[in-house]
Amino acid sequence: MTDLSTLNARFGLSGQVVFKQGSGGLDVVEVVNSRGSATVALQGAQVLTWAPRGSPPVIWLSRAAKFAPGKSIRGGVPVCWPWFGPHATVATLPAHGFARTVPWVVIGAQTLADGATRLDFRLVLNEASRAQWPHATLLESHITVGAALEIDLVTRNADRSAITIGDALHTYFEVSDVRQVKIRGLEGCPYLDKMDGGKRKTQTGPVTIGAETDRIYLDSSADCLIDDPSLKRSIRIRKRGSHSTVVWNPWIEKSLKMGDFGENGYLNMLCVESANAADDVVTIAPGGEHHLWVRYEIEPMN
């Protein structure tokens, strides 16, 4: 692991990109520029906060989040990789893979022409992760912080045979009150309802949340919009390389059981995850690569 002074000397950008120790002793990088600001944990290359300049937060981070090496952080943008949800065959392997709980290496930081900041991270497989994923695979995350937040998660297959992955950018969006928001863009999509034994259903109209919700929308590549009337804003989610979208809110009981949501945390968050989940897995030929790309922006609500 590289120490903070070395990281600041190599990648720090005066007043814009600063590496420091965050909660629980986890290293973070803080980005502030003329367009927006963000915090990213080096563990998991996990975006923890992001807001365009002058706007309230767009990404939710639980006030009761626990920060500890090797533990997933409740909120922000966890990277699920190389599988989504429970492992297909081995029940003891961690849900959503291991990428979110291991340290990533910083490989670049630069200011872009429009004033946004780009950070580049690489996951280096260690012995423990290789035991769970015995394939020569390179994973990088390129994060651009500005008036929009962009993440390009790139998987390269350096092995001699094809690999099959599931992945997701498991984003927790900040909402004023989840009971009042609507998600547009999933109308007509089939979905697997995990609250109803995985039954396949079809979405009619926008998605609203009034109870525990855990769904995998299939064949969904279009933009999603989270309309938030109290904040008078819509969050636009653009994506590429993702054919499924997970919508998740644990509601009261489950969030209390989880222990890192805080008492009413569930009311101010909504996960809309750009994913390759369930049967929507991605096979990458030797030498090939897959990009899971998202771009989040806010728009006035119309």
Binding site for ligand BG6 (CB under 6 A): 72, 95-96, 170, 194, 214, 246, 248, 273
Minimum distance of ligand BG6 from residue 170's CB (angstroms): 6
Query: CA 99, CA 92: separation in Å to the nearest integer?
Result: 16
Nearer to ligand BG6, 12 or 75 (CB): 75
Query: CA 174, CA 275: separation in Å to the nearest integer?
Result: 19
Active-site annotation holds for 273: yes
Active-site annotation holds for 297: no
Nearer to ligand BG6, 95 or 107 (CB): 95
Nearer to ligand BG6, 194 or 290 (CB): 194
Cα–Cα distances (Å) from 186 to 113, 128, 174, 189, 277, in that order, read 34, 38, 19, 6, 16
- Here the tokens at position 85 are 């949800």
**Residue whose C-alpha is closest to residue 51's, from 139, 146, 157:** 146
Nearer to ligand BG6, 36 or 44 (CB): 44
Query: Tell me, what amino acid is at 186?
Result: L
Give the active site residue among 273, 289, 290, 291.
Answer: 273
Minimum distance of ligand BG6 from residue 256's CB (angstroms): 13
Minimum distance of ligand BG6 from residue 32's CB (angstroms): 28
Query: CA 272, CA 169: separation in Å to the nearest integer?
Result: 9
- Here the tokens at position 114 are 């429009």
Minimum distance of ligand BG6 from residue 100's CB (angstroms): 8
Q: Is the peptide bond before 82 cis (omega within 30 degrees of 0)?
A: yes
Give the active site residue among 96, 142, 170, 243.
Answer: 170
Cβ within 8 Å of residue 33, ≥6 positions away: 16, 111, 115, 116, 117, 145, 146
Nearer to ligand BG6, 159 or 212 (CB): 212
Minimum distance of ligand BG6 from residue 300's CB (angstroms): 29
Q: Are 282 and 165 in contact (CB under 8 A)?
A: yes
Residues serving a catalytic function are: 170, 273
